[in-house]
Structure 1
Amino acid sequence: MLHRLLIALSIVFAAGFAQAQDTMLRRLDTGEDGKGWEAVGRLELAGNGFCTGALIAPDLVLTAAHCLFDPDSGERIDQSQIEFQAGLRNGRAEAYRWVRRAVVHPSYRYDGPVSADRVRNDLALLELEQPIRNGSVTPFKVARDARTGDRVGVVSYARDRAEAPSMQEICRVKGRQQGVLVMTCDIDFGSSGSPVFSFADGQARIVSVISAKAQAEGERVALGSQLDGSIDLLRSQLENNVGILKPTISQARRVRVGDARDTTGAKFLKQ
Protein backbone atom coordinates (compact mmCIF):
# COMPACT_ATOMS: atom_id res chain seq x y z
CA MET A 1 0.00 0.00 0.00
CA LEU A 2 3.02 2.33 0.21
CA HIS A 3 3.36 2.70 -3.57
CA ARG A 4 0.67 5.38 -3.68
CA LEU A 5 2.65 7.50 -1.24
CA LEU A 6 6.19 7.19 -2.61
CA ILE A 7 7.39 10.78 -2.57
CA ALA A 8 10.55 12.88 -2.74
CA LEU A 9 11.14 15.45 -0.03
CA SER A 10 13.67 18.19 0.48
CA ILE A 11 14.37 18.17 4.21
CA VAL A 12 16.51 20.63 6.17
CA PHE A 13 18.06 18.80 9.11
CA ALA A 14 19.42 20.24 12.33
CA ALA A 15 23.06 21.17 12.08
CA GLY A 16 25.51 18.89 13.83
CA PHE A 17 23.26 15.81 13.91
CA ALA A 18 25.38 12.68 13.75
CA GLN A 19 23.61 9.46 12.79
CA ALA A 20 24.50 6.40 14.86
CA GLN A 21 24.80 3.04 13.19
CA ASP A 22 21.41 1.51 12.41
CA THR A 23 20.90 -2.19 12.98
CA MET A 24 19.84 -4.62 10.28
CA LEU A 25 16.35 -6.10 10.04
CA ARG A 26 15.98 -9.30 12.08
CA ARG A 27 13.22 -11.75 11.24
CA LEU A 28 11.21 -12.90 14.26
CA ASP A 29 10.73 -16.50 13.17
CA THR A 30 10.48 -18.27 16.51
CA GLY A 31 8.35 -17.81 19.60
CA GLU A 32 11.43 -16.73 21.53
CA ASP A 33 12.39 -14.16 18.87
CA GLY A 34 8.89 -12.70 18.82
CA LYS A 35 8.32 -12.64 22.56
CA GLY A 36 6.97 -9.26 23.59
CA TRP A 37 6.01 -8.29 20.04
CA GLU A 38 2.89 -10.45 19.65
CA ALA A 39 0.63 -7.37 19.67
CA VAL A 40 2.05 -6.40 16.26
CA GLY A 41 0.07 -8.15 13.57
CA ARG A 42 -0.76 -8.33 9.91
CA LEU A 43 -3.95 -6.75 8.58
CA GLU A 44 -5.53 -8.64 5.68
CA LEU A 45 -7.35 -6.06 3.60
CA ALA A 46 -10.33 -7.69 1.88
CA GLY A 47 -8.16 -9.29 -0.79
CA ASN A 48 -6.31 -6.03 -1.55
CA GLY A 49 -3.03 -6.99 0.09
CA PHE A 50 -1.95 -6.32 3.64
CA CYS A 51 -0.66 -3.72 6.06
CA THR A 52 0.81 -3.88 9.55
CA GLY A 53 -0.98 -2.82 12.71
CA ALA A 54 -0.49 -2.88 16.46
CA LEU A 55 -2.79 -3.29 19.46
CA ILE A 56 -3.01 -0.28 21.77
CA ALA A 57 -5.91 -1.82 23.75
CA PRO A 58 -7.36 -5.34 23.78
CA ASP A 59 -9.86 -4.33 21.08
CA LEU A 60 -8.09 -1.43 19.30
CA VAL A 61 -5.54 -1.62 16.47
CA LEU A 62 -3.54 1.41 15.33
CA THR A 63 -2.52 1.54 11.67
CA ALA A 64 -2.20 3.92 8.69
CA ALA A 65 -5.35 5.47 7.25
CA HIS A 66 -4.41 4.78 3.63
CA CYS A 67 -4.55 1.04 4.38
CA LEU A 68 -8.34 1.38 4.59
CA PHE A 69 -8.71 2.56 0.99
CA ASP A 70 -8.84 0.55 -2.22
CA PRO A 71 -5.82 1.72 -4.28
CA ASP A 72 -7.72 1.33 -7.58
CA SER A 73 -11.09 2.88 -6.78
CA GLY A 74 -10.00 5.19 -3.96
CA GLU A 75 -13.05 4.06 -1.97
CA ARG A 76 -13.02 2.99 1.69
CA ILE A 77 -12.66 -0.77 2.17
CA ASP A 78 -15.51 -2.44 4.02
CA GLN A 79 -13.95 -2.79 7.47
CA SER A 80 -15.91 -5.99 8.11
CA GLN A 81 -13.68 -7.65 5.52
CA ILE A 82 -10.46 -6.70 7.32
CA GLU A 83 -8.86 -9.24 9.65
CA PHE A 84 -6.17 -8.58 12.25
CA GLN A 85 -3.77 -11.49 12.73
CA ALA A 86 -1.89 -10.82 15.96
CA GLY A 87 1.70 -12.01 15.98
CA LEU A 88 1.31 -13.90 12.70
CA ARG A 89 4.36 -16.08 12.21
CA ASN A 90 4.85 -18.77 9.56
CA GLY A 91 1.16 -19.46 8.99
CA ARG A 92 -0.13 -19.15 12.56
CA ALA A 93 -1.21 -16.20 14.65
CA GLU A 94 -1.67 -15.74 18.38
CA ALA A 95 -5.23 -14.56 17.66
CA TYR A 96 -7.46 -13.78 14.68
CA ARG A 97 -10.05 -11.02 14.87
CA TRP A 98 -12.34 -9.36 12.34
CA VAL A 99 -12.74 -5.60 12.48
CA ARG A 100 -16.11 -4.27 13.69
CA ARG A 101 -15.62 -0.53 13.23
CA ALA A 102 -12.88 1.70 11.84
CA VAL A 103 -12.18 5.43 11.80
CA VAL A 104 -9.60 7.49 9.97
CA HIS A 105 -8.21 10.84 11.06
CA PRO A 106 -10.85 13.45 10.10
CA SER A 107 -8.25 15.57 8.30
CA TYR A 108 -6.92 12.70 6.18
CA ARG A 109 -7.66 12.83 2.45
CA TYR A 110 -6.75 9.74 0.44
CA ASP A 111 -7.28 11.40 -2.93
CA GLY A 112 -5.63 14.67 -2.06
CA PRO A 113 -2.21 15.86 -3.18
CA VAL A 114 0.78 14.17 -1.62
CA SER A 115 1.93 16.50 1.14
CA ALA A 116 3.10 16.72 4.73
CA ASP A 117 -0.57 17.09 5.74
CA ARG A 118 -1.40 13.77 4.13
CA VAL A 119 1.38 11.93 5.92
CA ARG A 120 0.80 13.68 9.25
CA ASN A 121 -2.88 12.65 9.26
CA ASP A 122 -2.32 9.14 7.90
CA LEU A 123 -3.75 7.39 10.98
CA ALA A 124 -6.62 4.98 11.57
CA LEU A 125 -8.02 3.15 14.57
CA LEU A 126 -9.75 -0.22 14.18
CA GLU A 127 -12.12 -1.67 16.75
CA LEU A 128 -12.11 -5.47 16.81
CA GLU A 129 -15.28 -7.55 17.06
CA GLN A 130 -13.89 -9.28 20.14
CA PRO A 131 -11.07 -8.11 22.43
CA ILE A 132 -7.87 -10.15 22.41
CA ARG A 133 -7.44 -11.36 25.96
CA ASN A 134 -4.52 -13.67 25.44
CA GLY A 135 -1.81 -13.68 28.08
CA SER A 136 0.89 -13.63 25.41
CA VAL A 137 -0.54 -10.58 23.60
CA THR A 138 -0.03 -7.34 25.53
CA PRO A 139 -1.17 -4.05 23.95
CA PHE A 140 1.40 -1.30 23.66
CA LYS A 141 1.29 2.09 25.30
CA VAL A 142 1.50 5.21 23.16
CA ALA A 143 3.84 8.18 23.64
CA ARG A 144 3.09 11.51 22.02
CA ASP A 145 6.46 12.68 20.83
CA ALA A 146 9.84 11.77 19.36
CA ARG A 147 12.69 14.20 18.81
CA THR A 148 15.37 14.58 16.19
CA GLY A 149 18.22 12.22 17.03
CA ASP A 150 16.09 9.82 19.09
CA ARG A 151 16.74 6.12 18.78
CA VAL A 152 13.63 4.27 17.64
CA GLY A 153 12.79 0.81 16.36
CA VAL A 154 10.17 -0.68 14.07
CA VAL A 155 8.41 -4.06 13.79
CA SER A 156 6.80 -4.73 10.43
CA TYR A 157 5.60 -7.15 7.81
CA ALA A 158 6.52 -6.36 4.21
CA ARG A 159 6.95 -7.71 0.72
CA ASP A 160 9.38 -10.67 0.68
CA ARG A 161 8.98 -11.00 4.47
CA ALA A 162 5.23 -11.29 4.71
CA GLU A 163 4.94 -14.51 6.71
CA ALA A 164 6.72 -13.35 9.85
CA PRO A 165 7.44 -9.93 11.34
CA SER A 166 10.88 -8.39 11.17
CA MET A 167 12.38 -6.03 13.69
CA GLN A 168 14.86 -3.22 13.26
CA GLU A 169 16.01 -2.53 16.77
CA ILE A 170 17.81 0.72 16.06
CA CYS A 171 17.03 3.39 13.51
CA ARG A 172 16.90 7.14 14.07
CA VAL A 173 14.63 10.12 13.83
CA LYS A 174 16.51 12.15 11.27
CA GLY A 175 14.26 15.18 11.41
CA ARG A 176 10.78 16.54 11.95
CA GLN A 177 8.85 18.70 9.53
CA GLN A 178 5.25 19.89 9.83
CA GLY A 179 4.26 17.02 12.11
CA VAL A 180 6.03 14.38 10.01
CA LEU A 181 8.87 12.28 11.41
CA VAL A 182 11.64 11.47 8.93
CA MET A 183 13.40 8.27 9.99
CA THR A 184 16.20 6.03 8.80
CA CYS A 185 14.12 2.86 9.32
CA ASP A 186 14.17 0.11 6.68
CA ILE A 187 10.63 -0.33 5.31
CA ASP A 188 8.99 -1.68 2.16
CA PHE A 189 5.57 -2.38 0.63
CA GLY A 190 3.35 -3.85 3.36
CA SER A 191 5.06 -1.88 6.14
CA SER A 192 2.31 0.75 6.08
CA GLY A 193 0.83 1.09 9.54
CA SER A 194 3.85 -0.42 11.28
CA PRO A 195 4.42 0.84 14.82
CA VAL A 196 7.55 2.87 15.50
CA PHE A 197 8.78 2.44 19.06
CA SER A 198 10.77 4.48 21.50
CA PHE A 199 12.59 2.65 24.30
CA ALA A 200 12.76 5.30 26.99
CA ASP A 201 13.04 3.78 30.48
CA GLY A 202 13.42 0.36 28.89
CA GLN A 203 9.74 0.18 27.84
CA ALA A 204 8.59 0.04 24.22
CA ARG A 205 6.04 2.75 23.45
CA ILE A 206 4.57 3.61 20.05
CA VAL A 207 5.62 7.10 18.95
CA SER A 208 4.71 6.98 15.27
CA VAL A 209 3.03 4.93 12.53
CA ILE A 210 4.75 4.28 9.20
CA SER A 211 3.02 6.09 6.34
CA ALA A 212 5.42 6.13 3.38
CA LYS A 213 8.92 5.73 2.08
CA ALA A 214 10.70 8.59 0.40
CA GLN A 215 13.98 10.06 -0.73
CA ALA A 216 15.55 12.84 1.32
CA GLU A 217 18.96 14.27 0.43
CA GLY A 218 19.57 11.23 -1.75
CA GLU A 219 18.85 8.71 1.03
CA ARG A 220 15.95 6.32 1.50
CA VAL A 221 13.92 7.30 4.52
CA ALA A 222 10.68 6.30 6.24
CA LEU A 223 7.96 8.85 6.94
CA GLY A 224 5.61 8.61 9.90
CA SER A 225 3.04 10.71 11.63
CA GLN A 226 3.85 12.51 14.87
CA LEU A 227 1.05 11.22 17.09
CA ASP A 228 0.47 14.21 19.38
CA GLY A 229 -3.25 14.15 20.34
CA SER A 230 -4.40 12.13 17.34
CA ILE A 231 -5.04 8.92 19.28
CA ASP A 232 -7.41 10.68 21.68
CA LEU A 233 -9.20 12.18 18.68
CA LEU A 234 -9.62 8.79 17.00
CA ARG A 235 -10.88 7.22 20.22
CA SER A 236 -13.44 10.02 20.52
CA GLN A 237 -14.63 9.34 16.97
CA LEU A 238 -15.22 5.68 17.82
CA GLU A 239 -17.00 6.52 21.06
CA ASN A 240 -19.31 8.92 19.23
CA ASN A 241 -19.76 6.71 16.17
CA VAL A 242 -18.33 9.39 13.87
CA GLY A 243 -16.97 8.40 10.45
CA ILE A 244 -18.06 4.76 10.68
CA LEU A 245 -18.98 2.93 7.48
CA LYS A 246 -21.88 0.48 7.59
CA PRO A 247 -20.62 -3.07 6.88
CA THR A 248 -21.81 -4.60 3.61
CA ILE A 249 -21.01 -8.23 4.31
CA SER A 250 -22.16 -10.49 7.14
CA GLN A 251 -19.66 -12.26 9.38
CA ALA A 252 -20.98 -15.64 8.26
CA ARG A 253 -19.85 -15.00 4.68
CA ARG A 254 -16.30 -13.94 5.47
CA VAL A 255 -13.29 -16.16 4.87
CA ARG A 256 -9.63 -15.49 5.38
CA VAL A 257 -7.83 -14.14 2.35
CA GLY A 258 -6.58 -16.82 -0.02
CA ASP A 259 -7.83 -19.82 1.96
CA ALA A 260 -10.82 -22.00 2.64
CA ARG A 261 -13.11 -20.99 5.49
CA ASP A 262 -11.72 -23.37 8.11
CA THR A 263 -7.99 -22.91 7.53
CA THR A 264 -5.66 -20.61 9.41
CA GLY A 265 -3.12 -19.59 6.76
CA ALA A 266 -3.18 -16.44 4.66
CA LYS A 267 -1.48 -16.02 1.31
CA PHE A 268 0.45 -12.88 0.46
CA LEU A 269 -1.14 -10.91 -2.33
CA LYS A 270 1.39 -8.96 -4.35
CA GLN A 271 0.60 -5.26 -4.37
Structure 2
Amino acid sequence: MNNKSIALFFTTVITCAIAISSSVQAQNNPKISNPKFIQSEEGGNFKLPGKGKPFIPNDVEQSIKPNESTSRGIPDGYDDRILMTSNKYPWSTIGRVEGTTTDTKSYHCTGTLIYDNLVLTNSHCVIDPETGVLTRDIKFLPNFINGRVDNPKDIASVEEVVYGTDFKNGNQDNAKDWAILVLDKPLGRKYGYLGWKSIPSNVLVRNQNAFFFVGYSGDFPTFNPGMIAGFEKGCSIVAEEEGVLLHDCDTAGGSSGGPIIATIDSQYYIVGVNNAEIKNLGTGQDIINTAVKISTIEEALADR
Protein backbone atom coordinates (compact mmCIF):
# COMPACT_ATOMS: atom_id res chain seq x y z
CA MET A 1 0.00 0.00 0.00
CA ASN A 2 1.37 3.45 -0.86
CA ASN A 3 1.20 6.63 1.21
CA LYS A 4 -1.52 8.07 -0.98
CA SER A 5 -3.76 5.13 -0.10
CA ILE A 6 -3.34 5.72 3.62
CA ALA A 7 -4.15 9.42 3.33
CA LEU A 8 -7.21 8.62 1.24
CA PHE A 9 -8.73 6.13 3.65
CA PHE A 10 -7.54 7.18 7.11
CA THR A 11 -10.01 9.88 8.23
CA THR A 12 -13.10 7.86 7.42
CA VAL A 13 -11.68 4.85 9.21
CA ILE A 14 -10.72 6.74 12.37
CA THR A 15 -14.27 7.96 12.90
CA CYS A 16 -15.48 4.35 12.88
CA ALA A 17 -12.95 3.01 15.34
CA ILE A 18 -14.98 3.45 18.53
CA ALA A 19 -18.13 1.50 19.35
CA ILE A 20 -21.34 3.10 20.58
CA SER A 21 -22.18 1.32 23.81
CA SER A 22 -22.06 1.53 27.59
CA SER A 23 -22.10 -1.01 30.39
CA VAL A 24 -24.70 -1.06 33.14
CA GLN A 25 -21.99 -1.06 35.79
CA ALA A 26 -20.47 2.17 34.50
CA GLN A 27 -23.90 3.79 34.31
CA ASN A 28 -24.40 2.95 37.97
CA ASN A 29 -21.28 4.92 38.87
CA PRO A 30 -22.67 8.48 39.07
CA LYS A 31 -19.33 10.26 39.46
CA ILE A 32 -18.58 12.47 36.44
CA SER A 33 -14.82 12.50 35.98
CA ASN A 34 -14.42 15.75 33.96
CA PRO A 35 -10.75 14.92 33.40
CA LYS A 36 -8.05 17.48 32.84
CA PHE A 37 -6.63 17.25 29.30
CA ILE A 38 -2.95 17.93 28.65
CA GLN A 39 -1.39 17.70 25.20
CA SER A 40 2.04 16.11 25.33
CA GLU A 41 3.61 19.14 23.63
CA GLU A 42 2.32 21.54 26.28
CA GLY A 43 4.83 20.44 28.89
CA GLY A 44 3.91 19.91 32.52
CA ASN A 45 5.08 17.58 35.24
CA PHE A 46 3.88 14.28 33.82
CA LYS A 47 6.59 11.67 33.39
CA LEU A 48 5.98 8.11 32.27
CA PRO A 49 7.08 5.95 35.22
CA GLY A 50 7.94 2.29 35.33
CA LYS A 51 10.65 2.30 32.63
CA GLY A 52 8.48 0.04 30.49
CA LYS A 53 8.75 -2.92 32.84
CA PRO A 54 5.77 -5.26 33.41
CA PHE A 55 4.45 -5.97 36.91
CA ILE A 56 2.70 -9.07 38.24
CA PRO A 57 1.15 -8.87 41.74
CA ASN A 58 2.10 -11.73 44.05
CA ASP A 59 -1.52 -12.81 44.53
CA VAL A 60 -2.46 -12.83 40.82
CA GLU A 61 -2.15 -16.12 38.96
CA GLN A 62 -0.65 -16.25 35.50
CA SER A 63 -1.90 -18.08 32.44
CA ILE A 64 -0.94 -18.17 28.79
CA LYS A 65 -4.57 -19.04 28.00
CA PRO A 66 -6.90 -16.07 27.42
CA ASN A 67 -9.90 -18.36 27.69
CA GLU A 68 -9.80 -20.73 30.64
CA SER A 69 -12.91 -22.61 29.48
CA THR A 70 -11.78 -23.41 25.86
CA SER A 71 -10.15 -22.08 20.41
CA ARG A 72 -13.77 -7.15 11.20
CA GLY A 73 -11.16 -5.09 10.40
CA ILE A 74 -10.18 -8.52 9.15
CA PRO A 75 -7.69 -8.13 6.30
CA ASP A 76 -7.40 -11.84 5.45
CA GLY A 77 -11.16 -12.42 5.49
CA TYR A 78 -10.99 -14.94 8.35
CA ASP A 79 -11.97 -14.09 11.92
CA ASP A 80 -9.41 -15.74 14.19
CA ARG A 81 -10.62 -14.25 17.48
CA ILE A 82 -11.57 -16.22 20.57
CA LEU A 83 -13.12 -14.98 23.82
CA MET A 84 -10.87 -13.54 26.51
CA THR A 85 -12.51 -14.78 29.70
CA SER A 86 -9.47 -15.26 31.94
CA ASN A 87 -8.94 -13.11 35.04
CA LYS A 88 -5.30 -14.18 35.26
CA TYR A 89 -2.26 -12.16 34.24
CA PRO A 90 -1.62 -10.79 31.59
CA TRP A 91 -5.31 -10.72 30.62
CA SER A 92 -6.18 -9.00 33.90
CA THR A 93 -4.37 -5.86 32.72
CA ILE A 94 -6.70 -5.16 29.79
CA GLY A 95 -10.08 -3.47 30.14
CA ARG A 96 -12.78 -1.32 28.59
CA VAL A 97 -12.48 2.44 28.31
CA GLU A 98 -15.97 3.94 28.45
CA GLY A 99 -16.68 7.53 27.56
CA THR A 100 -19.64 9.89 27.68
CA THR A 101 -19.59 12.88 25.36
CA THR A 102 -20.91 16.38 26.07
CA ASP A 103 -24.16 15.42 24.31
CA THR A 104 -24.47 12.36 26.63
CA LYS A 105 -23.66 9.78 23.97
CA SER A 106 -21.77 6.74 25.26
CA TYR A 107 -19.08 4.73 23.53
CA HIS A 108 -16.24 2.36 24.35
CA CYS A 109 -12.66 1.58 23.38
CA THR A 110 -9.95 -0.67 24.79
CA GLY A 111 -7.17 0.22 27.22
CA THR A 112 -4.29 -1.47 29.03
CA LEU A 113 -2.78 -0.85 32.45
CA ILE A 114 0.87 0.17 32.07
CA TYR A 115 1.50 1.37 35.65
CA ASP A 116 -0.28 1.57 39.01
CA ASN A 117 -2.76 4.22 37.85
CA LEU A 118 -2.04 4.59 34.12
CA VAL A 119 -3.90 3.19 31.11
CA LEU A 120 -2.70 3.34 27.50
CA THR A 121 -5.28 3.90 24.74
CA ASN A 122 -5.91 6.20 21.72
CA SER A 123 -6.44 9.95 21.53
CA HIS A 124 -9.55 9.43 19.43
CA CYS A 125 -11.02 7.44 22.34
CA VAL A 126 -11.13 10.63 24.43
CA ILE A 127 -11.24 13.39 21.79
CA ASP A 128 -13.63 13.48 18.82
CA PRO A 129 -11.27 13.58 15.81
CA GLU A 130 -13.87 15.36 13.66
CA THR A 131 -14.91 18.10 16.10
CA GLY A 132 -12.08 18.25 18.64
CA VAL A 133 -14.63 18.00 21.46
CA LEU A 134 -13.26 16.43 24.65
CA THR A 135 -15.03 13.57 26.41
CA ARG A 136 -16.55 14.81 29.67
CA ASP A 137 -16.64 11.50 31.55
CA ILE A 138 -14.21 8.59 31.14
CA LYS A 139 -14.18 5.33 33.08
CA PHE A 140 -11.83 2.35 32.99
CA LEU A 141 -13.32 -1.08 33.69
CA PRO A 142 -10.48 -3.56 34.31
CA ASN A 143 -10.68 -7.17 33.11
CA PHE A 144 -14.22 -6.56 31.84
CA ILE A 145 -15.82 -9.97 31.15
CA ASN A 146 -19.43 -10.78 30.21
CA GLY A 147 -20.50 -7.17 30.66
CA ARG A 148 -19.13 -6.71 34.15
CA VAL A 149 -16.13 -6.10 36.37
CA ASP A 150 -15.74 -8.68 39.12
CA ASN A 151 -15.68 -5.96 41.79
CA PRO A 152 -17.64 -2.81 40.81
CA LYS A 153 -15.52 -0.82 43.28
CA ASP A 154 -12.63 -1.28 40.87
CA ILE A 155 -14.28 0.82 38.18
CA ALA A 156 -11.97 3.84 37.98
CA SER A 157 -12.65 7.41 36.92
CA VAL A 158 -10.09 9.19 34.77
CA GLU A 159 -8.71 12.32 36.42
CA GLU A 160 -6.24 13.40 33.75
CA VAL A 161 -5.54 12.65 30.11
CA VAL A 162 -2.15 13.15 28.48
CA TYR A 163 -2.63 12.88 24.72
CA GLY A 164 -0.61 12.96 21.55
CA THR A 165 -2.98 14.80 19.20
CA ASP A 166 -6.28 16.66 19.06
CA PHE A 167 -6.47 16.01 15.28
CA LYS A 168 -6.47 19.70 14.34
CA ASN A 169 -3.83 18.91 11.72
CA GLY A 170 -5.93 16.16 10.17
CA ASN A 171 -4.35 13.03 8.72
CA GLN A 172 -0.79 14.00 9.52
CA ASP A 173 -1.52 13.55 13.23
CA ASN A 174 -2.73 9.94 13.01
CA ALA A 175 0.70 8.67 14.02
CA LYS A 176 0.22 10.56 17.31
CA ASP A 177 -3.13 8.90 18.09
CA TRP A 178 -2.24 7.84 21.64
CA ALA A 179 -3.40 8.83 25.11
CA ILE A 180 -2.46 7.95 28.66
CA LEU A 181 -5.29 8.00 31.20
CA VAL A 182 -4.49 8.84 34.81
CA LEU A 183 -6.90 6.91 37.06
CA ASP A 184 -8.22 7.77 40.51
CA LYS A 185 -7.32 4.25 41.71
CA PRO A 186 -4.03 2.29 41.64
CA LEU A 187 -5.56 -0.66 39.80
CA GLY A 188 -2.20 -1.82 38.50
CA ARG A 189 -1.22 -2.94 41.98
CA LYS A 190 -4.17 -5.34 42.01
CA TYR A 191 -4.44 -6.41 38.36
CA GLY A 192 -0.82 -5.98 37.30
CA TYR A 193 0.33 -4.10 34.23
CA LEU A 194 2.07 -4.78 30.97
CA GLY A 195 5.44 -3.46 29.95
CA TRP A 196 6.01 -1.47 26.80
CA LYS A 197 8.94 -1.65 24.43
CA SER A 198 10.02 0.34 21.41
CA ILE A 199 11.25 -2.13 18.81
CA PRO A 200 12.50 -1.05 15.36
CA SER A 201 9.84 -1.54 12.71
CA ASN A 202 12.07 -3.74 10.56
CA VAL A 203 12.49 -6.13 13.50
CA LEU A 204 8.74 -6.24 14.10
CA VAL A 205 8.11 -6.94 10.41
CA ARG A 206 10.65 -9.77 10.35
CA ASN A 207 8.86 -11.56 13.19
CA GLN A 208 5.77 -12.66 11.29
CA ASN A 209 2.84 -14.28 13.14
CA ALA A 210 4.60 -13.52 16.44
CA PHE A 211 2.17 -11.12 18.13
CA PHE A 212 -1.21 -11.28 19.78
CA PHE A 213 -3.96 -8.72 20.10
CA VAL A 214 -6.82 -8.08 22.52
CA GLY A 215 -9.72 -5.68 22.00
CA TYR A 216 -13.36 -5.07 22.90
CA SER A 217 -14.62 -5.04 19.33
CA GLY A 218 -18.19 -3.92 18.78
CA ASP A 219 -18.86 -6.88 16.46
CA PHE A 220 -17.58 -9.63 18.77
CA PRO A 221 -18.81 -11.93 20.16
CA THR A 222 -22.02 -12.08 18.15
CA PHE A 223 -24.15 -12.97 21.20
CA ASN A 224 -22.81 -10.13 23.39
CA PRO A 225 -20.79 -7.74 21.23
CA GLY A 226 -18.25 -5.57 23.02
CA MET A 227 -18.98 -7.11 26.40
CA ILE A 228 -16.14 -9.65 26.22
CA ALA A 229 -12.75 -8.94 24.68
CA GLY A 230 -11.59 -10.87 21.66
CA PHE A 231 -8.12 -12.40 21.52
CA GLU A 232 -6.13 -13.25 18.41
CA LYS A 233 -2.84 -15.11 18.39
CA GLY A 234 -0.33 -15.09 15.56
CA CYS A 235 -0.97 -11.76 13.87
CA SER A 236 1.75 -9.76 12.13
CA ILE A 237 3.06 -6.24 11.71
CA VAL A 238 3.62 -6.06 7.97
CA ALA A 239 5.12 -2.61 7.39
CA GLU A 240 5.56 0.96 8.59
CA GLU A 241 4.19 3.83 6.52
CA GLU A 242 3.61 7.48 7.33
CA GLY A 243 4.88 6.89 10.87
CA VAL A 244 2.31 4.19 11.72
CA LEU A 245 2.58 0.42 11.89
CA LEU A 246 0.46 -1.63 9.49
CA HIS A 247 -0.85 -4.88 10.99
CA ASP A 248 -3.24 -7.71 10.16
CA CYS A 249 -4.76 -8.37 13.61
CA ASP A 250 -8.57 -8.74 13.50
CA THR A 251 -10.25 -5.55 14.70
CA ALA A 252 -13.48 -3.56 14.64
CA GLY A 253 -14.90 -0.45 16.30
CA GLY A 254 -14.30 -0.69 20.05
CA SER A 255 -10.92 -2.38 19.70
CA SER A 256 -9.19 0.98 19.32
CA GLY A 257 -6.53 1.37 21.97
CA GLY A 258 -6.06 -2.38 22.16
CA PRO A 259 -2.51 -3.62 22.67
CA ILE A 260 -0.43 -5.51 20.15
CA ILE A 261 1.62 -7.69 22.49
CA ALA A 262 4.92 -9.52 22.16
CA THR A 263 6.32 -12.13 24.52
CA ILE A 264 9.95 -11.24 25.26
CA ASP A 265 11.96 -13.34 27.71
CA SER A 266 8.67 -14.84 28.96
CA GLN A 267 7.27 -11.40 29.79
CA TYR A 268 4.54 -9.40 28.05
CA TYR A 269 5.22 -6.09 26.33
CA ILE A 270 3.06 -3.74 24.27
CA VAL A 271 4.80 -3.08 20.94
CA GLY A 272 1.98 -1.14 19.24
CA VAL A 273 -1.44 0.36 19.97
CA ASN A 274 -4.21 -0.43 17.49
CA ASN A 275 -5.92 2.73 16.24
CA ALA A 276 -7.65 2.32 12.87
CA GLU A 277 -8.89 0.16 10.05
CA ILE A 278 -8.17 1.07 6.44
CA LYS A 279 -10.91 0.10 4.02
CA ASN A 280 -11.56 0.35 0.31
CA LEU A 281 -14.18 3.09 0.31
CA GLY A 282 -15.71 1.76 -2.87
CA THR A 283 -16.24 -1.83 -1.77
CA GLY A 284 -15.98 -1.62 2.03
CA GLN A 285 -13.33 -4.34 1.93
CA ASP A 286 -10.83 -4.31 4.79
CA ILE A 287 -7.33 -3.66 3.49
CA ILE A 288 -5.09 -3.35 6.53
CA ASN A 289 -5.12 -2.00 10.09
CA THR A 290 -2.86 0.57 11.72
CA ALA A 291 -1.18 0.99 15.09
CA VAL A 292 0.72 3.70 16.93
CA LYS A 293 4.43 3.08 17.46
CA ILE A 294 5.69 2.93 21.05
CA SER A 295 8.68 5.07 20.05
CA THR A 296 6.27 7.87 19.10
CA ILE A 297 4.90 7.91 22.65
CA GLU A 298 8.31 7.68 24.29
CA GLU A 299 9.73 10.49 22.18
CA ALA A 300 6.79 12.79 22.89
CA LEU A 301 7.08 12.32 26.64
CA ALA A 302 10.88 12.47 26.66
CA ASP A 303 10.70 15.97 25.17
CA ARG A 304 8.66 17.31 28.10
Is residue 2:191 matched to residue 1:125?
no
Alignment partner of 1:110: what SS?
coil
Give deviations 1:31-52, integer Å, cap 9, x for gaps. Answer: 4xx6521111101101430110
Match of 1:92 in 2: 148
In the alignment, the residues of structure 1 paired with residue 257 and residue 181 of structure 2 have an alpha-carbon distance, to the nearest angstrom, of: 12
Counterparts in 2 of 1:6 and 1:165: CA distance versus 1, 3 Å: same
Indicate the residue corresponding to 1:70 in structure 2.
Answer: 128
Q: Alpha-carbon deviations, 1:74-130, whole Å to 9, x = none?
A: 31112xx1000000001321531000100111xx2424332xx32210010110012
The 8 Å contact of residues 90 and 192 in structure 2, kept in 1 or not, is answered as yes
Q: Is residue 2:94 matched to residue 1:40? A: yes
Residue type matched to 2:157 in 1? W
> RMSD across aligned C-alpha pairs, in angstroms?
2.8
**Counterpart of 1:41 in structure 2: which amino acid?**
G
* Residues 206 and 133 of structure 1, relative CA distance in 2, 3 Å threshold: closer
Is 1:223 paired with 2:290?
yes
Given residue 190 of structure 1, which amino acid in structure 2 is its aligned partner? G
Higher strand share: 1
Within 5 Å, give how 1:61-210 maps onto structure 2. 61-70=119-128, 73-78=131-136, 81-94=137-150, 95-105=154-164, 108-114=165-171, 117-132=172-187, 135=190, 137-145=191-199, 146=201, 147-150=204-207, 151-160=210-219, 161-210=225-274
- When you count helix as a share of all residues, which structure comes out higher? 2
Distance 1:119 1:207 in 2: 17
Alpha carbons of structure 1 residues 186 and 140: separation in structure 2 relative to 1, 3 Å: same
The question of whether the paired residues in 1 share the 8 Å contact of 2:175 and 2:296 is answered with no
**Which residue number corresponds to residue 6 of structure 2?**
none
2:286 and 2:109 mapped to 1: Cα distance?
24
For residues 229 and 142 of structure 1, do their structure 2 counterparts lie closer, same or farther at Cα, with a shift above 3 Å needed?
Answer: same
User: CA 1:73/1:109 → structure 2, altered by over 3 Å: closer, same or farther?
Assistant: closer
Please tell me whether the aligned partners of residues 51 and 191 of structure 1 are also in contact (alpha carbons under 8 angstroms): yes
| Pair 230,181 (structure 1): closer, same or farther in 2 beyond 3 Å | same
Q: Which runs of 5+ in 1 are unaligned?
A: 8-19, 238-271
For residue 73 of structure 1, report the CA deviation from its aligned partner. 4.0
1:9-58 CA-partner distances (Å, limit 9, x unpaired): xxxxxxxxxxx9x9811111354xx6521111101101430110001001
Distance change >3 Å, CA 138–CA 5, structure 1 → 2: farther
CA distance in 1: counterparts of 2:99 and 2:276, whole angstroms: 18
Cα offset, 1:71, TM superposition: 5.9
What SS does structure 2 have at the residue aligned with 1:88? coil
Contact 1:119-1:212 within 8 A present in 2 as well: no
Secondary structure in 2 matching 1:38: helix
Q: State the Cα distance separating 1:214 from its structure 2 match.
A: 0.8
Q: What is aligned with 2:116?
A: 58
Q: Give the SS at the match of 1:228.
A: helix
Distance change >3 Å, CA 104–CA 45, structure 1 → 2: same
Give how far 1:132 is off. Answer: 1.1
Tell me, yes or no, if the aligned pair for 1:211 and 1:223 is still in contact at 8 Å: yes
2:289 partner letter = A
Q: Is the 8 A contact 2:84 2:91 kept in 1?
A: no
Listed as ranges, the matches of 1:9-24 within 5 Å are 24=80
**Out of 265, 268, 275, which is 1:211 matched to?**
275
